[in-house]
Amino acid sequence: MTSPGTSDESSLATIRACFELGINHLDTAYMYGRNGESERLIAKALGKRRDEMVIATKGGLRREGDRFIHDAAPSTLRRQCEESLRRLGTDRVELYYLHAPDEHVPVAETAGELCRLLAEGKTRSVGVSNVSVPQLEEFAAECPITAYQPPYNMLRRQIEADTLPWCRERGIAVLVYWPLMKGLLAGKIRRDQTFGRDDSRGSYDLFRGDELLKSLDLVDRLREIAEAAGHTVAELVVNWTLHQPGITAALCGAKRPEQIRETAGGAGWRLTDEQLAEIDRALARRGTPQIDLPV
């Protein structure tokens, strides 16, 4: 809801399309949109059907101009949580995340406040996002963790070496963002693509030069595999993500109803062993990006 090319009308229609698709989980955050636009649009779209949707929001991060400000002080988290509830028009959310840790605030202090919000019923469960294994351990010592939300996709798989196994061992749900790598793995980006000044992708090396061309070569091969299976590239990529060991859900952004309908098509079926092997070979040819990916 903060991306270029969005409008209130398309955002509302996209949220409402979730009901017809069987999607019952919406993920948002205090900082999404201008002045809480994302949370307010969710409230407007759901109306009297709020109880049919599992809502997750996040606190501890805010935007000031083009900068992200990390502020996970207990008082800030309480204020942001209560403001998020007012925007969403509800007395609780099903899941409240620490959006990102704050190097100036001990993780234990942050966790303690989220545990108090849990005890007060303002959230029914607590999650963490963008944290390391030591931070997960420090947080879990103070507050039970239900969910972990990291970036993860075919090109960004670092969690497989550390945080994902940690969560699997403890039965913690892992809901990943950027499964389509900001549209790169959705099959919609052209080789001559240019990004406007208000599109953050233009600032990432992954979306420029040889790294972009290697990724688009990968997408071309994924398209061949997807079409042979009767699916789109986005459906194939989402399906691959959902069936990686330990992954609970893939959080797919969408600007328009047709986009969420396509990514919803990634569920309800499974890639065959042969198709998975073909994907593995394509990923091996592409190679791991030799750059820092965005977070």
Report the C-alpha gap between 220 and 184 in whole angstroms: 11
Alpha carbon 43 to its chain centroid, in Å, reads 20
CA distance 126 to 92: 12
Rounded to whole angstroms, how far apart are CA atoms 129 and 108?
15
DSSP string, 184-251: GGGT---TT----TT-GGGGSGGGSHHHHHHHHHHHHHHHHHHHHHT--HHHHHHHHHHTSTT--EEE
Q: Are strands 126-129 and 147-149 parallel, antiparallel or unpaired?
A: parallel
Catalytic residue among 32, 148, 152, 177: 32
Report the C-alpha gap between 200 and 281 in whole angstroms. Answer: 30
Element (H, E) at 174: strand 173-177
Report the C-alpha gap between 253 and 182 in whole angstroms.
Answer: 9
* Contact by Cβ (8 Å): 137, 130: no
When computed from its CA atoms, the radius of gyration of the chain, rounded to whole angstroms, is 19
Identify the bridge partners of residue 57 per DSSP, sorted by sequence position: 96
Question: 254 with 260: CB under 8 angstroms?
Answer: yes
User: What count of Cα atoms within 13 Å lies in the side-chain half-sphere of residue 49?
Assistant: 15
Quick check: is 32 catalytic? yes
Q: Which two tokens stand for residue 79?
A: 């204020």
Residues carrying an active site annotation:
32
